[in-house]
């Protein structure tokens, strides 16, 4: 969505009026972003703990579009439509990312248990960042703590929570930061790029609903500079930014392109 402010004329004004009315602000219809609308936006922003500047940017649009939008047990078409509108991208492009990251499965293993994958090599580096020597904790934790990536310790499914709980006994924040969360498999250490103030708040948000996971992933895509690649379906560039420089080893770009074609 385009950032708009008082005096703006364009199609977004009609949507702003609609969402403000749904939020309980009886603004007068106009083709222009009026001072009355600005006052309503400022009040809305205050109530949603946003910067109360009267400018409707990404986070304000997000909050406005979510007014009256109920999260179901699973994602539905209207959820993807909402977030695609927010990002100004194709619904099929968003679905392609979701399909590749979780194999088309849901964002939860069980109620209150988001899909996760625990990374022992990340846990190693996250402990070091917190001034904890990982080598002193290796004994008995070889399955969750190692300096280089390897897939042999993955258990998959709820078995990953056994590994996570084991790591939490050493340091909870570092452990949560070392797992990828939700249907878009975002690493916990990326909490700030998802608009969260801490690893803990990020994890709590991931536990809310699949819709919340989708909203956080949209923030991550925008904040991480991946949106232009997603909008243009430049899958190699998107995969490099989303999955890292080694994306080609796992053919992420090819998988995304194939998934996109299947979602169209």
Same domain, 240 and 164: yes
pLDDT in tens, 140-188: 999 999 999 988 999 999 999 999 999 999 999 999 999 999 999 999 9
Q: How many domains does the chain have?
A: 2
118 or 244: which carries more pLDDT confidence?
Answer: 118
Q: Looking at the domain assignment, is residue 219 inside a domain? A: yes
Nearest to 113 by CA among 188, 181, 163: 181
Same domain, 166 and 231: yes
> Where does the pLDDT of residue 103 fall: very low under 50, low under 70, confident under 90, or very high at 90 and above?
confident
CA gap 133, 156 in Å, rounded: 27
Mean pLDDT (the chain, rounded): 95
pLDDT at 250 over 90: no
Location of structure tokens 């570092």: 174
CA gap 155, 144 in Å, rounded: 11
> Model-level pTM?
0.91
Question: What sign for the dihedral angle of Cα 16, 17, 22, 24?
Answer: positive
Same domain, 35 and 133: no
Q: Looking at the domain assignment, is residue 3 inside a domain? A: no
Same domain, 190 and 257: yes
Same domain, 45 and 115: no
Same domain, 143 and 198: yes
pLDDT at 8 over 80: yes
> Where does the pLDDT of residue 80 fall: very low under 50, low under 70, confident under 90, or very high at 90 and above?
very high
What is the mean predicted confidence (pLDDT) over 22-33?
A: 94
Same domain, 169 and 236: yes
Same domain, 48 and 169: no
Give the domain range for residue 19. Answer: 12-65
Same domain, 58 and 148: no
CA gap 182, 203 in Å, rounded: 9
> Where does the pLDDT of residue 245 fall: very low under 50, low under 70, confident under 90, or very high at 90 and above?
confident
Q: Looking at the domain assignment, is residue 105 inside a domain? A: no
pLDDT at 264 over 90: no
Same domain, 257 and 174: yes
Nearest to 184 by CA among 78, 122, 105: 105
Same domain, 158 and 248: yes
What pLDDT was estimated at residue 246?
85
Q: Looking at the domain assignment, is residue 100 inside a domain? A: no
Q: Looking at the domain assignment, is residue 197 inside a domain? A: yes
pLDDT over 70, % of the chain: 100
pLDDT at 71 over 90: no
Same domain, 24 and 139: no
What is the mean predicted confidence (pLDDT) over 89-98?
A: 94
pLDDT in tens, 181-238: 999 999 999 999 999 999 999 999 999 999 999 999 999 999 999 999 999 999 999 9
pLDDT in tens, 106-128: 899 999 999 999 999 999 999 99
């Amino acid at each position: 969505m385009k950032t708009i402010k008082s005096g703006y004329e364009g199609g977004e004004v009609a949507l702003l009026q609609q969402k403000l009315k749904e939020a309980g602000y009886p603004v007068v219809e106009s083709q222009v972003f009026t001072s009355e609308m600005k006052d309503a936006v400022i009040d809305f922003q205050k109530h949603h703990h946003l910067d109360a500047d009267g400018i409707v940017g990404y986070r304000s649009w997000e909050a406005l579009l979510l007014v009256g939008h109920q999260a179901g047990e699973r994602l539905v078409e209207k959820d993807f439509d909402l977030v695609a509108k927010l990002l100004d991208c194709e619904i099929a492009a968003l679905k392609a990312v979701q399909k590749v990251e979780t194999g088309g499965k849901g964002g939860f293993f069980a109620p209150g248990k988001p899909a996760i994958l625990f990374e022992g090599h990340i846990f190693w580096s996250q402990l070091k960042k917190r001034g904890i020597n990982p080598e002193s904790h290796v004994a008995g934790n070889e399955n969750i703590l190692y300096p280089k990536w390897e897939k042999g310790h993955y258990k998959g499914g709820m078995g990953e929570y056994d590994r996570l709980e084991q790591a939490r006994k050493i340091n909870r924040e570092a452990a949560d930061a070392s797992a990828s969360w939700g249907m878009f498999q975002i690493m916990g250490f990326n909490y700030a790029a998802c608009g969260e103030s801490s690893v803990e708040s990020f994890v709590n948000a991931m536990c809310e609903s699949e819709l919340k996971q989708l909203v956080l992933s949209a923030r991550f895509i925008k904040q991480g500079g991946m949106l232009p690649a997603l909008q243009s379906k430049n899958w190699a560039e998107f995969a490099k930014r989303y999955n890292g420089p080694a994306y080609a080893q796992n053919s992420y770009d090819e998988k995304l392109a194939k998934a996109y074609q299947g979602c169209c």
